[in-house]
Amino acid sequence: MSYPSQISSSPSQKRKYTYIRRVKLARTTSILNHSVSDIRALQCHSNCLDSINSNTILKLRSQYLSKKHTERNKWLSNWLECNKISIGNDTYMYRWHVDGTEVCINCWLSVTGATKYKLMNCTRTIHGNNNITRINHRLESTLTWLKSYFYIVCDQMPTRNEYHLPCFLQWKDVLDELNTYLISKEFKGYSQPQFAYLMKRNFPNVKLPKYTRLGKCDVCLDFKNKKLKATTEEQRLQVQKEILIHNTNQMNERLEYKQRCLKAGIFLFFKSEQIHSLLRTNAR
């Protein structure tokens, strides 16, 4: 008994898929899997390959095609270095041969399976867009804002390189403040998946722990209970406004605390320098 298929595709989609698959197979076959007769059919008008044995052709071809792309570049660059002939005035020419039999460059490429582009660029160390980073103004502004924001808000762990968000903040609050800043600078805001990818790539050491040993504010806990008990949209919006005001006050206090710590560190540094200088003078 036959059952109808659950997924049905249109004939045009089937033809399109078959055509793409057939084209890919044809390209692969034409470039890599030529037989000896096909290679001889591609030779030049001088018939450079007529005097060369078929096993010799397959041996040279297997030396190149059995390698990966990076290894093929090394093989080609080594071949060019070993077969370079100087003709004076810092100019060179290359000898193209198959097991000692001279051939033209086109026949040599047909035998090996290499392309002219591969041959010309085999000595390049950087290919395409590798190791190229493009930072636009939006991303640069975002990273600068997040660095300063996390420095003010987060708590640095003493035993490991981690920064923890305080209990009164969630990732959504950080995203909302970031988008508010970007919109004020006439930049486009981030969505939740974009922000998650941005944090994972640029700030992997910033965490939002589920449980923390740091002290929790009583006002924050009170707001959390109010938010859970809110039944209407108006109550939730009112609690959210109060939380926003409280978070602003918390961050201002943290900023002042960081500034005081910085001033205290500078003062202690200069004070210790004065003490050391006095000890040096007394020792003399």
Q: Where are the domains of the chain?
A: 25-120, 136-213, 217-284
pLDDT for 51-78, tens place per residue? Answer: 888 888 888 888 888 888 888 888 888 8
Closest CA to 190 of 153, 151, 240, 145: 145
What SS3 class is residue 13? helix
Handedness of CA 142, 148, 152, 155 (dihedral sign): positive
**Does 1 have pLDDT greater than 50?**
no
Instruction: Considering only CA atoms, give the Rg of the chain.
Output: 35
The dihedrals phi and psi of 45, each to the nearest 5 degrees, come to -70, -20
pTM higher than the cut 0.75 = no
Which helix (H) or strand (E) segment is 94 a member of?
strand 92-94
Show the CA angle centred on residue 281, arms to residues 279 and 284, nearest 5°: 110
Are 3 and 70 within 8 A, CB to CB?
no
pLDDT for 102-143, tens place per residue? Answer: 888 888 888 888 888 888 888 876 655 555 556 678 888 999
The strand pairing partners of 207, in sequence order, are 164
Are 96 and 102 within 8 A, CB to CB?
yes
79 vs 12, higher pLDDT: 79
The dihedrals phi and psi of 92, each to the nearest 5 degrees, come to -135, 160
Q: How many CA atoms lie within 13 A of 51 on its CB side?
A: 10
Quote the pLDDT of residue 31.
Answer: 43
pLDDT for 133-173, tens place per residue? Answer: 566 788 889 999 998 888 777 777 767 788 888 776 788 88
